[in-house]
Structure 1
Amino acid sequence: MTHAFDLVIRSGTVVDGSGGPPRQADIAIAHGKIARVGQVPEKGREEIDATGKLVTPGFVDIHTHYDGQVTWENTLKPSSNHGVTTVITGNCGVGFAPCKPEQRDTLVRVMEGVEDVPEIVMTEGLPWNWETFPEYLDSLQDREYDIDFAAQIPHSAVRVYVMGERGERREPATAQELRQMTDIVREAIQAGAVGVSSSHHLGHRTVAGELAPSVGSASEEVLALARGLREAGGGVFQMITDGYYGGSDASAQMDLLRGIAQAAGRPVSYSLLQKAPYLRLHEDMLALMRQARAQGLDIKAQVFPRPVGLLFGLTLSFHPFRFHPSYQAIHGLPLAQRVAEMRRPEVRAAILSEKPEHPNPIFINIVSGYDNAFSLGDPPNYEPPPEALLHARAKARGVSVAELAYDLLLENDGNAVLMSPSSNFAEGNFDAIEQMLLDENTLIALGDGGAHYGMICDSSYPTTVLTHWVRDRQGRRMPLEQAVHRLSRKNALAVGLADRGLIAEGLKADINVIDLDRLRLHPPQPVYDLPVGGRRLMQKSEGYAATIVSGRVTYRDGVPTGARPGRLVRNRSTA
């Protein structure tokens, strides 16, 4: 029996990604594309009954770090567990190409420190069957994945490739070296990179505390990268500025972003968070961005829909006592033995009496500020009431915050998880998040999938948007059609992928079928499935009835089908 279509999704509430209102419709798919939206009387070879469920485009996550994972794995989890069907890698100026053989250790050290990917995972997992960025893309061309991905070329790798040890030491580039950087970016875009990324963020360091090669680079060097986009005639520029550690001068940050946009003639996006002590910096940046856009410069801010923070636990990378000498002495013990030791009164007293010791000041800062930490719970609650924060609970119990944190970490046989928010939580509420999230010039992003394996699990944010901001929140909510648009079509267009993010005839059949009433997040949990048994955090969800990539069902009720239709997506705007 022949069928008119490969797949038909029937009777769903279609939220098509355009921002328009929901409507009841069938969707027919053939040869990986959407063939019809409306009434479909013909049968499909496969059918999905979407009655009572939402049907949305697959989500596009523009800020991830799967640069290594795409070389050793075929599933881009955790992103693919949350309705994401396309990811963009190579953000924040870090990655693995271009790279000469003698520079591999440098790029591994940078990724280990900046993105919390264990060194052994990279040395064992990366095949290093490339040197240039076009060769990196070619090495991935025939690999199969559960979702699509596209790549940006990272500044730190370009700098080290061109300048060698001088680049690693962050010395100034010569005019000839700047020209080389421009050429490398141009060639990468022409080969299929969707953009270039850079970082001036002072928190981006190796484990030993050394700044990433791109940090502190002169504006002229950043603009040399931007000129590569102009010469290629395509691509986008992603930037994280120095604002949250380097100062509160919004004008200086926006001047750099304006310069990039002018030099590139291409879209620019940057990371924007609320962070102490500059609690109104995001407001200044939003106002300056509106001025720049009014002058014709395509600048947008990447924002996050909940607090950004670290997950603390005895099975994770960090917790408040991770670098206390007496804890260090037992850190290598199996969890059960470590918990038993920590429950001994003399060990508890010794650990609580000490201060953290580590050469990396960022690490010291991470483990020292946890007054506003809270138990994440099940289901995880990212907007707890003020009385749930550690400092309030400790005061109510008449103990120190350190004592309370110590005791909480030992709960659940040492598997308890605390969240210590570092951004978007400075005043204990979501007001700043709401302001950034609902601004027309922002993009929902910053999930960092593929990175921070032992301390952050933020790639679950699409589920947070649909539950917290659309369905559950008591305050101002985001309309469903706007949320879907922001998660899909707006992000796709922001990086030049016009063939997806919208349910329309002729476009790529990347689709979610979602039971919104049942949609929920589970708490993050460590799993040990990376190369050589490396650890990463995974966060499962319920309510995604089906995820479809290029017309093939990749997940049913969160369970992988084994289908691998995902591929490397190359920028073709310069062809």
Structure 2
Amino acid sequence: MTATHDLVIRGGTIADGSGGDLISGDIAIDDGKISAIGHISGSGREEIDATDRIVTPGFIDVHTHYDGQCIWAEELSPSSSHGVTTAIMGNCGVGFAPCRKDDHDMLINVMEGVEDIPGVVMTDGLPWNWETFPEYLDVVDKGKRDIDIAAYLPHSPLRVYAMGPRGASREPANDDDLAMMRKLSREAMEAGAIGFATSRLSIHKTADGGSIPTFEADVAELEAICGGMADAGAGTFQIVLDAFVGWDKEYKVIERVVESSGRPATFTLASGNDGPPRWRKVLDMIEATHAKGGKATAQIMPRPIGLIAGLELTVHPFVLCPSWAKIADLSIPEQVQAMRDPELRKALLSEDFEKGHPFNALARDWNWLFPLDDPPNYAPAKDMSMAGQAAAKGCTPQEIAYDRLLETDGKGLFLAALGNYENGTLASAHEMLSHPNCIPGLGDGGAHYGAICDASYSTYLLKQYVQKPSELSFGLAEAVHMLSHKAANAVGLSHRGLLKPGAKADINVIDLERLELHLPEVVRDLPAGGQRLHQRATGYDATIVSGEIIRRFDKSTGARPGKLVRGEW
């Protein structure tokens, strides 16, 4: 019998991304789009049996840094390993365009410091065959990849391109500078940028410890650049605010820019692990923005925001101890052998950290440093922290961490829970995610290769909040809505993240009962032999992009239908 459709997904429980009721039925796909939903009588050239499976839209990862990886690699993993079919890069205002030849090293220095991508990886992995942002998009557009990618215009390259050395040294922009940045912003939006991104975060540092070009840039500069988005009639404003100086001050930046430009904003929000819940006041501020006709959306990590620490990674509890320098260049087995020496042990357990990148010290917050094993527990009991275990054993947290490294032959990993674990629970993350103006985000795929592996948050959200019913649960339809259409709509991609006839056929078929998240692992597949953290999942029967199956039973099929998303589509 002649096939009627390109692909048919049969007998699944469909969560269509709208947040509405689940339905049971089939989905037919033709020419990369959904042609019918319901009872499909015709056959497909290929069929997927979705009995006892959930069928969802492809997920939208709104906060990634695949600006380099989308050029040197065809798979945007880990994101594509976790049901993501559209990823947004250029976040935090760091990226590689616009850029003159003389500024390559400066942008590498910024990206290496802020996003923990080794400089040699970018030097060897990028062709640097562009100058303007539209030219960069054209290079991305020509590449092959598994999922779709969209890009923000990043502030640091834009500022340096418009202002030269004055921009890199953080001098104030003059009227001519502002006019140039506004013009370049409009040009980027018209070429297909999804918006403009920046960072004000004080711990965002260059590789050599300096402040990034955008730190403390005047709000008038942000207004001018977002004015370029207003001129183009498109684009979302993404910003990382400096919560360390207080939300009362920092959120006013969003208020001013949204009011002056009329463009929507999105930003990262988290709760502290202890102290007063200041994030609730931020939710009130967001509601006030909407009441005045503006739009702002907070991005929330569904699990503790954290670093992964270990001897093989960028940070670990002893990396900045003076005596560590003696063995820093040894192999892991050699380091472990050296650590068994009583004299070195005594020194490392007693020494304080020397100065270094702010992230390093985070692996010494003993109250919030936990062991991370397989399967990984991202919501451990407080008494499992290094401080908790030390109190129970009557020793120091340093000793607990040191012995774990020895007992695991140097392979033991730690989770440094930096936020979203208020009082040792996920209650704050759950409450924020429940808010109508919050979405899941901050996966950071394509960055922090040696310290963070949070691009798996979509799998975690389904497993932690849906698979395991509790007082902190979400219904399946609500969770899928967060990961798909709600996220897409926050960044202007209102046509994505929905399963309906005529929609782009980006779809997941998931065995929710079997869904499992595995321990992050080091893979060595970067340019120049560089390594990165990757995290696998089990339970994705199929992930489909534009009607093509890119992953089947948790493995890549080799299909590369991914495209550059130009503009809000």
TM-score bucket of the superposed structures, by smaller chain: over 0.9
SS at 2:424's partner residue?
A: coil
User: Cα offset for 1:474?
Assistant: 2.8
Match of 1:451 in 2: 447
CA distance in 1, matches of 2:419, 2:362: 12
2:23 pairs with 1:27: no
CA drift of 1:408 comes to 1.2
Q: Which amino acid aligns with 1:442?
A: C
1:321 aligns with 2:318: yes
In the other structure, the counterpart of 1:66 is 66
Shift of 1:277: 6.8
Instruction: Give distance in 2, aligned partners of 1:201 and 1:535.
Output: 26
Q: How does 1:200-279 map to 2 (within 5 A)?
A: 200-243=200-243, 245=244, 247-248=245-246, 250-275=247-272, 279=276
Structure 2 portions without partners, runs of 5+? none
- The reply to whether residue 88 of structure 1 matches residue 88 of structure 2 is yes
Residues 326 and 120 (structure 1 numbering): CA distance in 2 closer, same or farther, change over 3 Å?
same
Percent of matched pairs sharing the same residue: 47
Deviation, structure 1 residue 195: 0.4
**Residues 320, 370 of structure 1: 8 Å contact kept:** no
> 1:294-322, CA deviations, whole angstroms, 9 ceiling, x for partnerless residues?
11111111111010011110011101100
The separation in 1 between residues aligned to 2:383 and 2:349, in whole angstroms, is: 24
Q: What is aligned with 1:546?
A: 542
Kindly state the Cα deviation for residue 426 of structure 1 after the two structures are TM-superposed.
4.1
The separation in 2 between residues aligned to 1:144 and 1:35, in whole angstroms, is 26
- The Cα shift of 1:3 comes to 1.9
Q: Which moved more, 1:62-71 or 1:386-395?
A: 386-395
Shift of 1:409: 2.1
Deviations 1:467-520 (A, max 9, x none): 101121532211110100010011112222233211100010000000000001
Does the 8 A contact of 1:121 with 1:531 survive in 2?
yes
Number of the residue aligned with 1:537: 533
TM-superposed CA distance for 1:276, in Å, is 5.8
- 2:18 matched residue in structure 1: 18
Secondary structure in structure 2 of the residue aligned to 1:395: helix
1:230–1:263: 8 Å Cα contact kept in structure 2? no
Provide the rounded CA distance (Å) in 2 between the counterparts of 1:417 and 1:306.
Answer: 17
Q: 2:514 aligned with 1:518, yes or no? A: yes
Give, in whole Å, the separation in 1 of the partners of 2:401 and 2:174: 50
What pairs up with 1:481-500 in 2 under 5 angstroms? 481-500=477-496
Q: Take 1:382 and 1:8, find their aligned partners in 2: how far apart are those partners?
A: 37
Question: Counterpart of 2:368 in 1: which secondary structure?
Answer: coil
Partner of 1:177: 177
Aligned to 1:375: 371
Aligned with 1:305 (options 280, 302, 305): 302
Distance 1:349 1:293, change over 3 A: same
Structure 1 position 19, deviation (Å)? 0.5
Paired position in structure 2 for 1:337 = 334
Which whole-Å CA distance do the structure 2 matches of 1:20 and 1:367 have between them? Answer: 42
> What residue is the counterpart of 2:470 in the other structure?
474
Counterpart AA for 1:262: E
SS at match of 1:146: coil
Gaps of at least 5 residues in structure 1 are none
Aligned equivalents of 1:67, 1:364: Cα separation in 2: 24
Paired AA for residue 446 in structure 1: L
| Alpha carbons of structure 1 residues 445 and 88: separation in structure 2 relative to 1, 3 Å | same
Q: Deviations over 1:143-185 (max 9, x none)?
A: 1111000000001111111111111111111111011111111
Contact 1:357 1:364 in 2 (8 A): no
Residue identity in the other structure for 1:219? V
Q: Could you tell me which residue of structure 1 aligns to residue 347 of structure 2?
A: 350
1:423 is matched with 419
Aligned partners of 2:373 and 2:519 also within 8 Å: yes
**2:112/2:206 contact within 8 Å kept:** yes
Count of residue pairs the alignment pairs up: 569
The residue type equivalent to 1:506 in the other structure is G
How far is 1:326 from its partner?
1.2
Find the partner of 2:523 among 527, 541, 563. 527
Residue-by-residue CA offset, 1:541-567 (whole Å, 9 max, x unaligned): 000000001101111111110000001
Using the TM superposition, give the Cα deviation of residue 142 of structure 1 relative to its aligned residue in structure 2, in angstroms: 1.9
Distance 1:560 1:24 in 2: 27
Deviations 1:180-228 (A, max 9, x none): 1111111000000000001100011012211111011011111111101
Q: Deviations over 1:228-258 (max 9, x none)?
A: 1101110111011111x2x22x232222111
Deviation at 1:365, TM superposition (A): 3.1
Counterpart of 1:191 in structure 2 is: 191
Please give the secondary structure, in 2, of the residue aligned with 1:488: helix
On the 8 A contact 1:235/1:496 being kept in 2, the answer is yes
One-letter code aligned to 1:117:
I
Residues 1:277 and 1:218: Cα distance change in structure 2 (over 3 Å):
farther
Q: TM-score, normalised by structure 2?
A: 0.98
- Distance (Å, rounded) in 1 between the aligned partners of 2:408 and 2:27: 46
Per-residue CA deviations over 1:63-102 (Å, capped at 9, x if unaligned) read 1000011111110000000000000000011000000000
State which of 292, 295, 299 in structure 2 corresponds to 1:295: 292
- SS at 1:371's partner residue? helix
Instruction: Report the alpha carbon displacement of residue 263 of structure 1 after superposing the two structures with TM.
Output: 2.0
Cα RMSD of the aligned pairs, angstroms, is 1.3
Q: Residues 93-121 of structure 1: CA distance to partner in whole angstroms, max 9, x if unpaired?
A: 10000000000101100000000001111
Deviations 1:265-285 (A, max 9, x none): 111111101136764221111
1:378-416, Cα deviation, whole Å (9 max, x unpaired): 111111112211111111111100111111123322111
Stretch of structure 1 that moved more, 289-298 or 146-155: 289-298
The Cα shift of 1:359 comes to 4.4
Task: Please give the alpha-carbon distance, in whole angstroms, between the structure 2 residues aligned to 1:428 and 1:239.
Answer: 28
Instruction: Tell me what 1:146 maps to.
Output: 146
Q: Quick one: which amino acid aligns to residue 134 of structure 1?
A: P
SS at match of 1:410: helix
SS at match of 2:408: helix
Partner of residue 504 from structure 1, selected from 500, 508, 511: 500
**Matched letter for residue 474 of structure 1:** S
Give how far 1:432 is off.
Answer: 1.3
2:390 is matched with 394
- Paired AA for residue 348 in structure 1: R
